[in-house]
Chains A and B, each alone.
Chain A
Amino acid sequence: MKKTTPKQDLLRGVWRENPVLVQALGLCPTLAVTNTVANSLAMGLATFFVLMGSSFLVSSFRRWVPREVRISTYILIIATFVTVADMTLAAVVPDIHKALGAFIALIVVNCIILGRQEAFASRNPVGRSLLDAAGTGAGFVISLLLMGGIREVLGQGTFLGVPLLGPHYEPWVIMILPPGGFLTLGVILLAISAIERRRASRAERAAAGTMRRAA
């Protein structure tokens, strides 16, 4: 694997390899629990915490875990942190815990987390693994907040429960229903692909210009 700088380890997951918006991983929670900003934030932070904790442990144990049982080891480690997150949410924000329901337990099978253990934490030192986990986790939180923000503002006229658009706002009911999740994600992916394409074509034109000048 090519050597990367710590800065790259941290920032890669936020944009260039954003787990949801670029790699299209972890779509189940992204679609299911982003109907409000509060739900998105809770889900994002819980996943962030689980990712950080598991990456730390997996990376620390990487020399002692036999290859044959590595996946089950990861799952056990992840499940431990998910249980901690589950109980913490239930104690601190019982309403949100209720709203998220089974999706908190399902963080165990979130492929973003398992993917980072397999691809990064199990092969890299603890410090770099934590940076990678923080970047990926932040990318996930940002994606969920983007989804939750759009859906709550359109679907209820509020942001984090605070009315934004006045008492006469007509809510777009569809946005807080499942179809709204698919529509929002699709529009975000469309926008990102448009941005990336524009950037690529600009880079291409710049490269062509340089070549002409060199010749």
Chain B
Amino acid sequence: MTAGERLVTASPHLASGHTTPRIMWTVVASLVPVIGAAVWFFGPSAVFVIGAATAGALATERVFGRAGSLMDGSGLITGLLLGLTLPAGLPIWMAFVGGAFGIGFGKLIFGGLGQNVFNPALLGRAFLQAAFPVAMTTWPAEQVSWWTLRGDTFALPLMAGKAADVVTGATPLGLMKFEQQGTTLSHLMLGNTGGSLGETAGILITLCGLYLALRNYLNWRIPASIFLAVLVFAGLLHQLDPGRFPAPLFMLFSGGLMLGAWYMATDMVTSPVTNGGTWVFGAGVGFLVVVIRVWGGLAEGVMYAILLMNALVPFINRATQPRVLGTRERSGA
């Protein structure tokens, strides 16, 4: 809401002080440790990739957004989150394109913050995944020196990176899916595994997310229901055939599930408004993640699971409308 606009409602009037910029900037602050971990594990490449994704998001917000929308911090969050979902060796021009697409087509085209159907960061990532499938699934292996770039970071815009001099590894999910090879759980939790920049440090992301949940800036029911759904569903499958289906804890801490559950699925704009609805939403995300990982052609499914459930949010909201106090009718029905 811009200054000068007044919202007139019935009393009592309560001012909480929780403005959009304040919430957004708190989320940005809570992301700092996660970004720090990304830099720790992936070296300078992490800075460049996250920086380029953020620059793409902010530039688009500045050019096409409403006056002043740059300062509410939401564009910054989109850029940072997108950067955290990208592989370290991605050429930075691609990260920039992803950020621009996420803000432009994920948010501004719907009318700006609060109007978007899908999480802008994930939409940016989905676009990159469809546009540059090879670059988006090239996971750099651990390097000798922290300073080594993890890929052809500075490939010229529109040009492919030189893949030859990159040592590639695999993500724990990829290893599990294509080579039936597990990864130690402690490595998954601490983060020294292959994968996207920000998805590796499971415990750190959980701590940052818990902080936001305690501040009530994210609805704890969403991550809780996602984890519960993954644990129950993956646990059932594991009981049926331990040789074929990975253990539930492996499912929980591998891939982008932690980052997705804490930071992407909880996006206030694209998650249900009712508490009952958030349980449905989270359970749906968790279920789809396991389905895609186990039976899909891709190793990872968090992004598509969340985007699919984003599309269902209006229906979930309608189906879980609370009753009007003192009547048997649902509000707005």
Contact = CB atoms under 8 A, between A and B. Distances in A.
A173 interface: yes
Contacts of A165: 158
Interface in A154-197: 165-166, 168-170, 172-175, 177, 179, 183, 190
Interface string B96-124: 00000000010001000000000000000
Contacts of A169: 158-160
B268 interface: no
A138 to B, nearest CB: 30
B130 A170 contact: no
Nearest to A170: B160
Nearest to A175: B131
Interface in B150-183: 155-156, 158-161
B211 interface: no
Nearest to A187: B105
Contacts of A183: 105
A183 B161 CA distance: 25
B130 A179 contact: yes
B127 interface: yes
Nearest to A172: B131
Contacts of B133: 173
Interface string B177-209: 000000000000000000000000000000000
A166 B159 contact: yes
A115 to B, nearest CB: 29
A189 to B, nearest CB: 11
B132 interface: yes
A177 B131 CA distance: 9
A182 B109 CA distance: 14
B55 interface: no
A119 B296 CA distance: 49
Given A170-B158, A175-B131, 4 more contacts: A168-B160, A173-B132, A183-B105, A190-B109
Interface of A: 165-166, 168-170, 172-175, 177, 179, 183, 190
3 closest Cβ pairs, A-B complex: A170-B160, A174-B130, A174-B131
26 contacts: A165-B158, A166-B159, A168-B156, A168-B159, A169-B158, A169-B159, A170-B91, A170-B94, A170-B132, A170-B135, A170-B158, A170-B160, A170-B161, A172-B131, A172-B132, A173-B130, A173-B131, A173-B132, A173-B133, A174-B127, A174-B130, A174-B131, A177-B130, A179-B130, A183-B105, A190-B109
